[in-house]
Amino acid sequence: NYKHVLITHGHFDHYAREQLTGRYVTDENWTFYLPPQTAAPERERLQKSLQGAKGNPPRRAPEIADAVPFVPMDIMGYRVTPLPARHAPSIGSVIYLIEKDGKRLLYAHDCAGFTAEDLDFLAGKRLDLVTLDCTYGGNAPKSVGHMGYAEDLKCREQLKQRGAADDKTIFVANHFSHNGVRPYADMQALLPGFIVSYDGMVIEF
C-alpha cells in the first residue's frame, strides 16, 4: 500500500482535509506533502479535528510535511522535488519533478505554464515523461492557473529549447474539464505529439 501523498495545493478539489480524520486516520503511517503556506495551518486544523473526534483516538494521525520548492525529498526511494507553480500564489502551489533509476517524470497540473525559475532548474535535465494541465482545451484560459492546447504546445517547446525534453520525451495532456473537452479524436488531432489521457491509462517508460 502507498503511504505517501503528494498534494500540489490546498484547493478543495485537490485536498480534502476532512479525509484526514476519516479514511487516513488509521494505525498505519500516512504522510501528506503540502506547500509550506498550506502545511502550517493544516497541521493546526488536523490536531483540533482529532481532539474533537468521538471514540477512541487513533494511535497514529497523518503527518503533514512541507513540500518546499527546489528542496528535494527522498520518498520511498524516489527523489521528489517540488517546483513553484503558477497557480493560486496566496496559498502556495507546486508541481513535482519525480526521479528514480535514471527516469524523470514532471507532474505539472494546475499551473499556467512554467515560471522562469522552473525552466532554469529543469534546463539540461532530460525528462522522460511530462504530464501537463489542459483544463481549458481549445478555449482561451479564463483565469490564471490553468492551460489549454496552445499553452501545452508552448510548454513543450520551452522544455525542448532548454534541453529538458526531446523527441523521445512522452508528453501527456491531462486535467480536463467541461470548459474545453471535445471528442477524443478531435482533442488528439489538436495536440500533435501528445497523448491525450483517459481513465485507466497506464504508461510505461
The pLDDT tens digits for 160-201 are 999 999 999 999 999 887 776 778 888 889 899 999 999 899
Q: How far apart are CA 38 and CA 94, in angstroms?
A: 11
Instruction: State phi, psi for 103 to the nearest 5 degrees.
Output: -105, 145
pLDDT in tens, 104-119: 999 999 999 999 999 9
The pLDDT assigned to 57 comes to 56
* Residue 77 near residue 49, CB atoms below 8 Å: no
The pLDDT assigned to 26 comes to 66
The pLDDT assigned to 38 comes to 87
Residue 171 DSSP label = E
The pLDDT assigned to 65 comes to 93
Strands 78-84 and 94-100: antiparallel
Instruction: State phi, psi for 40 to the nearest 5 degrees.
Output: -60, -55
Q: How far apart are CA 39 and CA 108, in angstroms?
A: 20
**Secondary-structure breakdown of the chain: helix, strand, coil percentages, each rounded to the nearest 5:** 25, 25, 55
The pLDDT assigned to 192 comes to 94
Positions in the chain whose pLDDT score sits under 70: 1, 19-27, 49-60, 141, 180
The pLDDT assigned to 92 comes to 85
The pLDDT assigned to 23 comes to 65
